Amino acid sequence: MTKPSLDKDKIKFLLLEGVHPSAIEVLRSAGYSQIETVPMALQGGELKAKIADVHFIGIRSQSQLTADVLAHASRLAAVGCFCIGTNQVDLNAARERGIAVFNAPYSNTRSVAELVLAEAILLLRGVPEKSALAHRGGWLKSAVNSYEIRGKTLGIIGYGSIGTQLSVLAEALGMKVAFYDVVSKLPLGNARQVAKLLELLAQSDIVTLHVPETAATQWMIGAAEIAAMKPGGILINASRGTVVDIDALAAALNAKKLLGAALDVFPVEPGSNKDEFVSPLRGLDNVILTPHIGGSTMEAQANIGVEVAEKLVKYSDNGTSTSSVNFPEVALPAHPGKHRLLHIHRNVPGVLADINQVFAGNGINIASQFLQTNEAIGYVVIDIDAAHSDLALTKLAEVPGTIRSRVLF
Ligand SMILES: NC(=O)c1ccc[n+]([C@@H]2O[C@H](COP(=O)([O-])OP(=O)(O)OC[C@H]3O[C@@H](n4cnc5c(N)ncnc54)[C@H](O)[C@@H]3O)[C@@H](O)[C@H]2O)c1
Ligand SMILES: O=C(O)CC[C@@H](O)C(=O)O
């Protein structure tokens, strides 16, 4: 697919799921005016129709950009995930279509860590249950099953950006921290890494999950893992809904094996605030249920809006793909007076030679060039004299292995 350059006022952005207005401010001040916003996720035919017409799409966690949906995105240059998780996008399908995907890997980590810590404190005091009873006219003044958080062991599964932040905050409150991660990690403070998941579960008073959604984390907490937890333990999941077997958790809570739980994410989540939330955990007073709002604070959303919009602007303005989650990272400084061409191709031997032959064979001088590859694709940015860009673009499209090529400016 070969594309000539587009004026900024023709480049269309679609922002779904109530992306924060800070993103619109960034896009407008960069000169982009065609920005459509939708407060919720779109699905099926509606999503396919909308995505077919835009050059950039911004989503959060609810819009499913599957291979089927992306097959309709013939103009799409990039996806901005205005969140941390990117599991809702088929990253390989996007890459094979030459669509770069960006996210905000750090902007809401503090918000999640604060929520988890608050939930741990409330659950250890039985507050959700006592509060629910009070709302129904009950009065449960009792210290039974109420504990201080000080001295308790917090077991963190997934010691990444959120897990480490939580580790520091928990130690500041006097907790002991243990963690399990598939990668060897430098423990912060006095935290210690535990080699086996079942060992961590057996040692922890509170277990909290901070892993991404992958094949390995799918249903990683099921009946056997819950059975390995301490009697009276607490389970918190603010990672992804596919990580915990909810039926097994409901059974353990009903059997009083666990003291309580807090869930922010679910295997099936309503697509909008108007849809019904259905779960076997509904009605259990010792369970805190929140609608996937771990990262939903004004601070985090405003920061995410700026961070991801800036990445989209840089990619659109000069082809910079730094920190893309599925693309080779290229950042070529602007070269005044030159035209910039982008070429995305399958990563097979000989493509760069063929590309350079286009220029050598047509007497076109390359002012600067930068190539990066990953296991599937190569991405090269080339600056040349303006006079030759139409010819170069036509010839570049004929290079075997080409996925996309276009003139940026
Ligand atoms: N509830 C929310 O609103 C919310 C907000 C932000 C992030 N999240 C979710 O939290 C997840 C974690 O976020 P993060 O920023 O800390 O990610 P991160 O990538 O910084 O850390 C994830 C950690 O999990 C580890 N890990 C991966 N697979 C594992 C496995 N099978 N077993 C044990 N450890 C494993 C990784 O090595 C890494 O250390 C995100 O992927 C996202 O899905 C949810
Ligand atoms: O804002 C969202 O919809 C998702 C937030 C969170 O799950 C993330 O991955 O950052």
Query: Could you write out the DSSP letters of every residue in 288-313?
Result: EE--S-TT--HHHHHHHHHHHHHHHH
pLDDT confidence of residue 7? 87
Instruction: Name the 3-class secondary structure at 131.
Output: helix
Task: Say what the pLDDT of residue 385 is.
Answer: 86
Q: Give the CA distances from residue 227 to residues 208, 222, 235, 249, 251, in Å, rounded to whole numbers and listed in that order.
A: 16, 9, 12, 10, 11
Strand 377-385 and strand 338-346: the pairing is: antiparallel
Burial 258-284 (b: 16+ CB within 10 A, else e): bbbbbbbbbeebbeeeeeeeebebeeb
Residue pair 94/114 in contact by the 8 Å Cβ criterion: no
Q: Residues 157-182: what's their mean pLDDT?
A: 98
Among 60, 88, 56, CA closest to 75: 56
Active-site residue flag, 20: no
Q: How does pLDDT run across 130-151, given as a tens digit for each residue?
A: 999 999 999 999 999 999 999 9
pLDDT in tens, 302-352: 999 999 999 999 999 999 999 999 999 999 888 888 899 999 999 999 999
Looking at residues 161-185, what average pLDDT do you find? Answer: 98
| DSSP at 145 | T
Q: For position 48, what pLDDT does the model report?
A: 98
Confidence of residue 271 (pLDDT cuts 50, 70, 90): confident
CA–CA distances in Å: residue 230 to residues 1, 25, 178, 234, 257: 57, 49, 14, 9, 8
Rounded Cα distance between 383 and 370, Å, is 9
**How far apart are the CA of 225 and the centre of ligand 2, in A?**
26
- Ligand 2 centroid from CA 18, angstroms: 12
326's CB contacts (< 8 A; 6+ apart) are 91, 92, 94, 95, 100, 101, 374
**SS3 of residue 164 by DSSP:** helix
Cβ–Cβ under 8 Å, residues 88 and 62: yes
* Whether pLDDT at 3 is above 90: no
Q: Which of 31, 34, 50, 52 is nearest to 42 (CA)?
A: 50
pTM, whole model, 2 decimals? 0.94
Average pLDDT over residues 259-286: 96
For the chain, the C-alpha Rg in angstroms (whole number) is 25
344 is written with which tokens?
Answer: 């995305």
State residue 390's pLDDT score.
85
pLDDT value, residue 1 = 54
Checking DSSP bridges between strand 100-102 and strand 287-289, what pairing results, if any? unpaired
Mutate which of 16, 61, 243 for ligand 2 pocket (most atoms within 8 A of beta carbon): 61
Query: Which-ligand-closest: CA of 272?
Result: 2
236 lines ligand 1 (CB under 6 A): no
